[in-house]
């Protein structure tokens, strides 16, 4: 069962690919690496596939906007750090990816999150927004064949960071709901 809103993001420690240079490509990342920051963690099924690079590039295109909101983007799959490196080098739109690619090769994080697909044995297409205290504030899981919308994830992060009531289709800069005015 997928972990949900209000639950703690699980403890983890994985290798991650952060560059295309074999000398500096790999780092260890765990729960303390980005302590005190918002996390946007999105998983995808496999490297060298078709839908996945479109999503990863789209999140990469918005990376500065996430960073402006004190959020660290992380992506991951069950592929190894070496497969991530090969894919980054092979796929032009991933060459300069600005965030780490987590290598959940033991499938421990995917299992702890409840997103290991029982039929395919890969991470499901799942997105988590985690607050600075390590609590999951948003979860979305789509079919393996359906890409997600990073702009919507950014909109939801904006709404969560207001700590206010945000109506349907709310966007940054819009008014939030004032319960006192609504009750009057």
Report the distance separating Cα 86 and Cα 91, nearest Å: 9
Exactly one of 25, 52, 83, 116 is catalytic; name it: 52
Domain ranges of the chain: 13-183
Give the H or E element holding residue 75: strand 71-77
**With 80 as the cut, is the pLDDT of residue 184 above it?**
no
Asked if 52 is an active-site residue, the reply is yes
Other CB atoms within a 10 A radius of the CB of residue 52 amount to 22
State percent of the chain over pLDDT 90: 81
Q: At what angle do helices 150-162 and 51-61 cross, to 10 degrees?
A: 40
Q: Could you identify the residue written with the tokens 């005190």?
A: 36
pLDDT of residue 28: 98
Assign domain 13-183 to its CATH architecture.
3-Layer(aba) Sandwich (3.40)
Tens of pLDDT, residue by residue over 20-42, are 999 999 999 999 999 999 999 99
Tens of pLDDT, residue by residue over 55-68, are 999 999 999 999 99
Q: What single string gives the DSSP state of each residue in 32-95?
A: TTTTTSEEEEEE-S-SS-SHHHHHHHHHHHTHHHHHHTTEEEEEEESS-HHHHHHHHHHSGGGT
């Amino acid at each position: 069962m997928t972990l949900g809103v209000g639950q703690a993001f699980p403890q983890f420690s994985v290798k991650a690919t952060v560059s295309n240079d074999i000398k500096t490509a790999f780092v260890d990342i765990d729960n303390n690496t980005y302590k005190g920051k918002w996390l946007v963690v999105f998983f995808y099924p496999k490297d060298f596939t078709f839908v996945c690079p479109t999503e990863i590039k789209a999140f990469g295109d918005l990376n500065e906007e996430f960073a402006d909101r004190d959020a660290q983007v992380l992506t991951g799959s069950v592929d190894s750090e070496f497969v991530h490196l090969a894919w980054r080098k092979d796929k032009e739109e991933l060459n300069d990816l600005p965030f780490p690619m987590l290598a959940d090769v033991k499938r421990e994080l995917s299992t702890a999150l409840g997103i290991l697909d029982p039929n395919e044995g890969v991470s499901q297409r799942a997105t988590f927004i985690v607050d600075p205290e390590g609590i999951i504030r948003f979860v979305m899981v789509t079919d393996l064949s359906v890409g997600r919308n990073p702009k919507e994830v950014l909109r939801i992060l904006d709404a969560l960071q207001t700590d206010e009531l945000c109506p349907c289709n709310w966007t940054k800069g819009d008014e939030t709901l004032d319960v006192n005015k609504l009750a009057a």
